[in-house]
Homo-oligomer: A and B are copies of this chain.
């Protein structure tokens, strides 16, 4: 199988696309770019999936402009691919049928912070770090933290999560309401600011994770949390993968409200030591963080300590100073980049799966053995409190044999996760790369997804060739 076999073909009409580009150029001037470099940068760039550049990129500055672009594209049945920061990992941004990349990065206004209600409204291009910088003095924070400094619109579109999800949930839980431009260019508002509602179909949750295939998210109302009174955390090495995973399972089962519990395999620890100048023991390791009151975090840490000791965990090294903690978690967030020190010049094949936590030890152990048997170099890192982990296979792009081996491994990993009652993606989303697994995972549910797509976007202009194929 070649890589491009993961990319579903989408019909392309050069003439119509060219007409739309002309119209948009007239309307948006320099904010409509046809430059080769800009176009390629707006296709898929983060992994080895081949880049499929759009025909032009429009930099919109408002919901109304977004609606205008979508209406023009809809009229001529030309694809629209929403773009946030370009950090997605499964080819979400590729333009297999050409069309317009709709770049929302200039829509970066924080519109309203309702400290009393612990929520805020932002434009889709606001990034998670930008929002948290803005919130710093309010005593509030936004907890969802995927690896990249992604835009909130993109994070909602891919149902992103991150290291805090075990305690604070994913974008599914964080988003209270959305402003969406529909495939016909209408502007609608979903959800609202009430904490709960039973007033009709949950359109918010339908758009969260729809990857731009049902419309363009232009604004979001998201939940915020009070910055915890106390934070503590640290690092605990384990003799093997199994005992580290078992410590995670026990922690969750005991109901310890851990804020973060992250697994790094030996290879990943090595990479982080080199890249982020840490001096961790090179063993399977958990990074932990506890949020609460002073007494609360002490209690949580003691409970975890007892669990770790029972499972042969090494010394639990406390990072009590804020700088020490920041260094640790920066290293964790840089794990993706750190991995490349293991094989400079390699391309990374990032893949993520998620299983029920009772199957985690089994799934990670089998995967690790699978990698060894296949002779692949691939650190494993995971948001293991949710049963979610990532494998980054480091591949020589010019070696077809390695590529074939890697593809076969990724396939086995995905089937394995589904077999263990898990999912082919915990947080990266489907894009182009995971479409082939959806039928086995969802069965007839995939037909329901297709019916919804067909109903809301009958001309298949919204990010075509992602999640579901249309006839």
Q: Which residues of A contact B (CB under 8 A)?
A: 114-119, 158-161, 165, 170, 172-173, 182, 186-190, 192-203, 205-206, 208-210, 214, 225-226, 228, 249, 252-255, 293, 295-296, 299, 354-358, 386-388, 421-430, 434, 437-438, 441-449, 451-456, 467-468
Contacts and interface: CB of A to CB of B under 8 A. Distances in A.
Most buried by B among A165, A205, A249, A453: A205
B192 A200 contact: no
Given A194-B421, A423-B192, A199 B444 contact: no
A199 B423 contact: yes
Contact of A198 (B158, B293, B448): B158
Nearest to A383: B196
Contacts of A293: 299
A456 B452 contact: yes
A356 B118 CA distance: 9
Each complex incorporates copies of this chain amounting to 2
B116 A253 contact: yes
A113 to B, nearest CB: 12
Given A194-B422, A424-B199, A426-B198, A356 B188 contact: no
A208 to B, nearest CB: 7
A455 B447 CA distance: 11
Given A226-B253, A295-B299, A456-B452, A421 B200 contact: no
Contacts of A451: 455-456
Given A226-B255, A456-B451, A199 B116 contact: no
A202 B206 contact: yes
Nearest to A422: B194
Contact of A429 (B165, B198, B253): B198
A226 B173 CA distance: 21
A116 to B, nearest CB: 4
Nearest to A178: B445
B117 A386 contact: no
Contact of A356 (B187, B193, B253, B468): B193
A114 B376 CA distance: 34
Contacts of A438: 199-200
A253 B140 CA distance: 10
A357 B200 contact: no
Contacts of A193: 356, 421-422
